[in-house]
Amino acid sequence: MNLSHAYGHPVSEEDGAALLGRALDLGVTFLDTAALYGGGNNERLLAKAVMHRRAQFTLSSKCVLDMHDGKRGLDGSPTAIARTLDGALQRLGTDYIDLYSLHRLDRNVPVEESVGALVRAKEAGKIGAIGLSEMSAETIRRAHAVHPIAAVQSEYSPVVRNPEIAVLDTCRELGIGFVAFSPVARGLLCDAVRDDAYESDNDIRRAMPRFTGENLRHNLIAVGAYNALALQVGATPAQLALAWVLARGNHVVPIPGTRNIAHLEENLGALDLTLDASVFAEIDAIFADGGIRGPRYSAAMQAQIDTEIFPGEELA
C-alpha cells in the first residue's frame, strides 16, 4: 500500500520496482495489494516489477473496498466482486491470484453472498485461497461456514490490540492465518512520527485522531519510553514492534509496508532478534492504561470497520 496509496505522493515506478525486487531478493514471500491502492496502480506496479518472478511469492489482493464510479466506497455484491477481480487480473497481468480477500464488510450485502462470489471465482480457477480483512469474530465464523477462510487481515501492533478481543482466538480455533497489517503503527513505532506536520495533504494520518493534536502529543510520551526500551535491548523501534507481533503466535504474520530499501532491510532484522518475555511485558506495560489516546480511525472510516472495539474506543 505504501508505494501507491495513503501516505502522500506515490513513489516512482522505478523506485517501487527496486524495492519490490529487493524484498524478493531478501526472501520475502508474501506481497499484499488491493484494488483500492492507487486506484489499481499498485496492482499495475506489481505486474511490471515482480510478476516475472511469480514463483517466488504468494500474491494477495483484495476487493469490495474500491473506487466505484470514481469514488471510494464499498460494494460487496457478487457482481461488483466479479468485476473488481477481473480488473485485478488484468492489471496484475495474470490469470490467478493466490489469496483474494474481502477488504471490508459491506453491511448491505450478507457476507455469505460475498464469500459465495469468491467461491465461484475459486471454482473458475481465478483465485486460490479466500480471505477477509478487518472483520469481527462473528463475521469470520459466518464466512467460514460458507467456505474455509485461509487468512484474516487486521491492524495489529503493540498499540492496536483489537484483534485480541476475539479475532485472534477465533483464527486459532478455526485454523485461519492472521495477517497483521500496520505492525509498526503507521510509523509511530519506528520513530517516523514526531509531530503532526505531515508532508502531504494526502497523508491518511491527518484524518486519524490518534495521529494529530493533543492525542498525538500524549501518545508520543509513551512512544518515547518505548524507543528507549528498543535502544536498551539493542533493536530499532521497528524491529522491536515486529518481534512483538511475531511472538503472538505461529499463525500470526506481520506485513510491514515501506517505501525505503534501508527500512525494508531493517524490518527483516527483526527475524534475528531473541528477546525475553519480560521485554514484551515491558512493551505491554508502556502502552497499557491510556498510554495511547484517540480512535484509530475517523468516524467515517470506522463505519466501514467490522472488527471489535474496546469499550469507549469510539469516543476516546
Beta bridge partners of 62: 101
C-alpha span between 103 and 236 (Å, rounded): 31
* Catalytic-labelled residue, pool 7, 37, 156, 226: 37
Q: Is 279 helix (H, G, I), strand (E, B) or coil?
A: helix
37 annotated active-site:
yes
C-alpha cell at 133: 480483512
296 Cβ contact list (under 8 Å, min separation 6): 155, 160, 162, 208, 209, 210
C-alpha span between 103 and 105 (Å, rounded): 7
Handedness of CA 97, 102, 108, 112 (dihedral sign): positive
DSSP string, 177-230: EEEEESTTGGGGGGT--SSS--S-TTBGGGG-GGGSHHHHHHHHHHHHHHHHHH
C-alpha span between 190 and 262 (Å, rounded): 13
Active site residues: 37
